Chains A and B, each alone.
Chain A
C-alpha cells in the first residue's frame, strides 16, 4: 500500500462517513492487506462452513501505548482472540476485525498496525473474514480501539471444562509471568529499567493443538491469565471448582529483569497482566510429560508445574512462600493498594 497515493497522512472524520473516503481507506489499506476469498466478495458478511462444534470468543483491545516493546495493539488483537479460542480447546480458523479510530491517527501508524495484524493472522493461520471501521472525533477515543471475534473448530479430542478439574490435578504454566504487563506499564509511565522489558505477546494455538493431539481428555483445562494476572484466574478457578489451589512461589517462572522491576515498584507479579502465557490443569500422571512436550516448543521452553488442586482450603488459592509459611493469594481488587501499617 502506497501512502503517497492516498493523498492524506492521518485518519479524519470523512473516513468514517461511509462515503467515498471510507471506500478509499478500505480498498487501499484494509482489503489490500488482508486480501482473501471471503473478504474479496466485499459483502456485508461472510459464509463459512464448519464440520465440528465451534468455539467463538470476542475481545476488545484498548491499550496505551498502541506501540510497545515487543508488539503493538494489532498483533495483540489477533493473538488475544486466537488464544482465547484455543483455550476452549479449539483450533482457531477465522477472525472478524473491527476498528474504532480516533480522528488524527497517523496513516503510517495505522498501516503498521494493519501489517502486524496481517502477520499475526498468517502466523496463527487464521483468516480475517469480516470487519468494520468507524472513526470518532478527536478526544472521544484513544488513537485506536480494535475488536476481534474468533471462530474455531473444537479439537476432536478436547474436553475442556472446570467440571473436569479434580483434587490432585497439576497446574502447569508454559512460560514466564508478568512480562507483558510490566512492558506496557514501564512504557506508559516512562520507567527505564536496566534492560528493556519486552512484551511476550504471541499465538499459543499450535502448542495447545499439540497438547490436545497427544493428551486429549487428560488435559482438563486451559486458561490464559491476561488481565488481573495469575492470581485472579486461579482464584476464579478455585471458586468455581469448590476445591483449593496450592502453588509454590519458588516454582513461579519469572524473568530476572521482570522480577527486579516488580520488586522496585512493589508490585506482586501474580497480579500483573500476561500475554503469551497460559496455564493448563492436567491429570497428575501426565504432568511431567506435558512439561516435557511444552519445553520442546519455543513457546513453552520455560514450562513448569507450579502447583496442584487440593481438598483443603476450598475456594482459596494458597502459596507456599519461599521465606517459609503460606500466604493467601486473593484476586485483584482494583489497583494494588498498600495494606501494611
Chain B
C-alpha cells in the first residue's frame, strides 16, 4: 500500500548538493515526491511503500553527500499525496530563518581535474566549482544559500552553464556558484602601481609563477581575501617580505603544490594528511624535524621545530601550483595588525608597499577570512584549533533553544562574536585584535551583517567583564542605544562554559573541575586572573582555587616582555640571575615598582613567560605568545617516567607559583638541561591538574584557555589521566580567546546568576 512520509533534515545541508542527491537516491528507490530547502533545512515528501521509504531514509542518513553534516533528522507519516515523479522544488521562505550557514569548501578533485585538463572547457578557469566545492560563507549576503543571495549574482550563467545547472544528472545541478570562462569571474595581473601587464588570460598563471620564481612577491586575491606570496625557497624574497610586512620572526605558512611533494619533504601522520586534504583545508602545523626538502625552513619558522603547511584549496591556488610545482609562502594580505584585506581598492593602497605585483579578480568577498590553523598533538593526535576561520566558520554544530535573541561580543585580542538568532548558534570567524581600528570596523560590521542576515535584532547583549575591552564598551553602548539587557560575564568562567557547552556537560550529574589557564582576564576581584580552578555542578559555577598571586607590572608591557614576568616572580636569587636583562634605570624603577605594586595576577601564561626568560630562551616577544611557543619547541624528546615535580598543590588546592619557579631554578642551577627543565615544568603543570582534582574529589575535568594550545601539555595530561579521569578540551573551537563569545553564550544560558 502506498504511503506518504515527511522527512525533515537539518544541519549543514544547503549549498552542498543535498537536494540533487536526495533526488537521485529517491529515484533509485522508485519513490515519488518532492525535496526542497526551507528555513529549517531540507524537507522531503516521499510516496511509496513503507519499507522502501525507510530503506531510502536510512541510506540517506547514513551516507549523506560528501560535504554535508546532518544534525537532526525526523520521519513521520502524513496524509497520502500522489506525485507523478520525484521533483526538486525551489527554496521557500516561510517565517523565521532556521538553518545553518555553510562554510567555504576547498576545491574538489573533480574540479581540480577539469581545470588542469586542456581539453576541458574549464581548463585554466580559477573559479571552477560544483555542488561539492567552492566559496559559500565568503560570498553570502542573505539567506538561504541561493545564487541571488550571494555575490555570484553579479555574473549571469551562459547557456552551457545554465544547462549544467538545470540538469539533474550533472555535478553542477543547482550549484549556486556555477560559472565558466565565458560567463564567469575575470582575473587580471598588474604591477604594484596598478598598471595592467596585459598578459593573455591563458598565460597569466605561467607569468605569475615566473614572477615568483624571479623572487617577486605577489598579492593574490583568493576566495577569503588577499594572500601575500613569494618563493619559499628564496632566502632574499622571504627576507624582503618579512621586512616589508614588519614581521621579523613570526612563522610564515607554506602552500605546497601537492600532497606528494609535501610528503617528499615531511613525514606526516594520517591525521595531518586527512586534515590537509579535507574540505576545510586548513593550515596544519607539522613538525619540521626530519625536513628533507630544499626550503629555507629556518627563515620561514625561525627557532621553531614546527611549520604551518597547506594545500591549494581554491582554483587560483591550484592553477598556480600547476605552473610553479614548488612551495610558496602564503600569508594573509594585511598591514601590521590589520585584518586580511578583501577589497581591491584597499589592497591597491595598502599592499602596494609590500607586494611587487597583484593578481586581482572581480568576485566581491562579503566575509573576509584568514586561513584556519590547526595542530595535532604529537603523541595522541589530539586536534587543537589555533585559528578558526575559512572552512570552519561561521557555523558551530550545536543547536540551542532560547526565547531570546542573544549576541555575545567575545574578547578583545582574539575577537569573535556569537549570535543565537534561531535554533542554531553561529560563531564568527576570527576577527583579530580590536585595538586596531580596521579590526574594530570588521567587528562592528560583522555584528551588523549577522543581524541583517537573519533579520533578527538581539534582545540580550553579553560582554566580557573587562571594563576596557573595546568589545565590552561597544556592547554596552549597543545595549544602551537599543534599550536591551546587557550582562558582563567573567572571562575565565566564559572559557570554562565554552568547553562545558562543546561537550553538552551542563546537564551532567557529576560535578566537573574547570581548569582555565591563559594569559590575562579581568577577575571578579579586580585582579588579573589566568590560572584558575572552578567547580561546576547543577548550573552553578564557583572558583575554588588559583595559582598564588604575583605582581602584575607595567600594564600590557608585561605580556610582551617575558623578562618582566620572571622579575615579578623572582626571589632575591633569581633576581640576581635576571638583572642583566634590564638597564640600570629599568632595574631601579622595577625594584621600586614591585615593592609598591597592588595589581596582582594568577596568570599561567605569564608563568610560561617567566620560565622562558629564566632559561634564556626568550626575554622579549616579537609576536604574541612567542615565549610559550619557543618553550614548547625547545623540547625534542622526553620520557614521562623520568619527569619530576617542581611543586604540589597546597591543601586548599592553591598552587604555590613562586615555589614552583624557585625549585625549577634550583634544578636548572644544578645542571639540568633546558629541555629537561621545560619537560619537568609541563609535567608539574599537568600533575597539578590531577592533584587539585583529587583534593576536590572530582574526576571529570574540563580544560580551556590559551595555555591549552600547548600540545605537549595535552599529551602529558592524557598520559597521566589514563582511565581514572575524563578530560574535556575545546574541540570545534579554539581553546584561546576565540571561544569567549561562545562561552559567554553558554554561561548566560546555563549558569544560575547568584
* Chain A interface residues toward B at CB < 8 A: 189-194, 260-261, 263-268, 313, 318, 323-328, 330, 333-341
A265-B555, A337-B468, A340-B520 are known; give 17 further A-B pairs, CB within 8 A: A190-B596, A192-B585, A260-B585, A265-B557, A265-B593, A266-B556, A313-B437, A324-B335, A325-B438, A327-B436, A333-B473, A334-B468, A338-B559, A339-B435, A339-B556, A340-B559, A341-B737
Min CB gap B348→A, angstroms: 16
Closest-by-CB residue of B relative to A323 is B336
Closest-by-CB residue of A relative to B596 is A189
The 6 sampled A-B contact pairs (Cβ below 8 Å) are: A191-B588, A266-B554, A323-B336, A328-B434, A328-B470, A330-B470
User: Does B440 sit at the interface, judged by CB under 8 A?
Assistant: yes
Complex formed: what's the CA distance from A328 to B435 in Å? Answer: 6
Instruction: Establish whether residues A341 and B437, one from each chain, have CB atoms under 8 Å apart when the complex forms.
Output: no
Q: B518 to chain A: which residues have CB within 8 Å? A: 341
Interface of B is mostly: mixed
Closest-by-CB residue of B relative to A260 is B585
Of listed B470, B558, B589, residue having the most chain A CB within 10 A: B589
The interface bits of chain B over 512-543 (1 if a CB of A lies within 8 angstroms of the residue's CB, else 0) are 00000011111000001000000000000000
User: Does B246 sit at the interface, judged by CB under 8 A?
Assistant: yes
Complex formed: what's the CA distance from A220 to B444 in Å? Answer: 32
Contacts A324-B246, A325-B438, A328-B470 given: A189-B559 contact, CB under 8 Å?
no
Partner of A193, one of B414, B437, B589, B596: B589
Q: B589 to chain A: which residues have CB within 8 Å? A: 191-193, 261, 264-265
Closest-by-CB residue of A relative to B464 is A339
Instruction: Establish whether residues A341 and B414, one from each chain, have CB atoms under 8 Å apart when the complex forms.
Output: yes
The interface bits of chain B over 685-719 (1 if a CB of A lies within 8 angstroms of the residue's CB, else 0) are 00000000000000000000010000000000000
User: Does B467 sit at the interface, judged by CB under 8 A?
Assistant: yes
Q: A264 to chain B: which residues have CB within 8 Å? A: 554, 585-586, 589-590
Partner of A337, one of B436, B470, B555: B555
User: Does B337 sit at the interface, judged by CB under 8 A?
Assistant: yes
Q: B596 to chain A: which residues have CB within 8 Å? A: 189-190
Instruction: Establish whether residues B466 and A339, one from each chain, have CB atoms under 8 Å apart when the complex forms.
Output: yes
Q: B520 to chain A: which residues have CB within 8 Å? A: 338-341
Instruction: Establish whether residues A194 and B585, one from each chain, have CB atoms under 8 Å apart when the complex forms.
Output: yes
Interface of A is mostly: loop
Q: B568 to chain A: which residues have CB within 8 Å? A: none
Q: A339 to chain B: which residues have CB within 8 Å? A: 412-413, 435, 466, 468-469, 520, 556
Q: A318 to chain B: which residues have CB within 8 Å? A: 437
Q: B624 to chain A: which residues have CB within 8 Å? A: 340-341
Instruction: Establish whether residues B559 and A341, one from each chain, have CB atoms under 8 Å apart when the complex forms.
Output: yes
Min CB gap B495→A, angstroms: 11
Q: B338 to chain A: which residues have CB within 8 Å? A: 325-326
Complex formed: what's the CA distance from A90 to B644 in Å? Answer: 73
Complex formed: what's the CA distance from A265 to B555 in Å? Answer: 7
Complex formed: what's the CA distance from A337 to B601 in Å? Answer: 11
Q: B552 to chain A: which residues have CB within 8 Å? A: 338
Total interface residues on B, using CB and 8 Å?
50
Min CB gap B589→A, angstroms: 5
Min CB gap B527→A, angstroms: 10
Q: B553 to chain A: which residues have CB within 8 Å? A: 266
User: Does B279 sit at the interface, judged by CB under 8 A?
Assistant: no
Instruction: Establish whether residues B435 and A338, one from each chain, have CB atoms under 8 Å apart when the complex forms.
Output: no
Q: A324 to chain B: which residues have CB within 8 Å? A: 246, 335-337
Q: B737 to chain A: which residues have CB within 8 Å? A: 341
Instruction: Establish whether residues B466 and A325, one from each chain, have CB atoms under 8 Å apart when the complex forms.
Output: no
Q: B337 to chain A: which residues have CB within 8 Å? A: 323-325
Partner of A341, one of B336, B519, B593: B519
Q: B435 to chain A: which residues have CB within 8 Å? A: 327-328, 339
Min CB gap A291→B, angstroms: 26
Contacts A337-B467, A339-B468 given: A326-B438 contact, CB under 8 Å?
yes
Complex formed: what's the CA distance from A327 to B437 in Å? Answer: 5
Q: A328 to chain B: which residues have CB within 8 Å? A: 434-437, 440, 470
Q: A338 to chain B: which residues have CB within 8 Å? A: 520, 528, 552, 555-556, 558-559
Closest-by-CB residue of B relative to A261 is B589
User: Does B653 sit at the interface, judged by CB under 8 A?
Assistant: no
Q: B466 to chain A: which residues have CB within 8 Å? A: 337, 339
Min CB gap B396→A, angstroms: 21
Complex formed: what's the CA distance from A336 to B468 in Å? Answer: 9
Complex formed: what's the CA distance from A326 to B437 in Å? Answer: 5
Q: A266 to chain B: which residues have CB within 8 Å? A: 553-558
Instruction: Establish whether residues A340 and B560, one from each chain, have CB atoms under 8 Å apart when the complex forms.
Output: yes
Instruction: Establish whether residues B246 and A192, one from each chain, have CB atoms under 8 Å apart when the complex forms.
Output: no
Q: A334 to chain B: which residues have CB within 8 Å? A: 467-468
Min CB gap A12→B, angstroms: 31
In chain B, positions 357-416 with a C-beta closer than 8 Å to chain A are 411-414
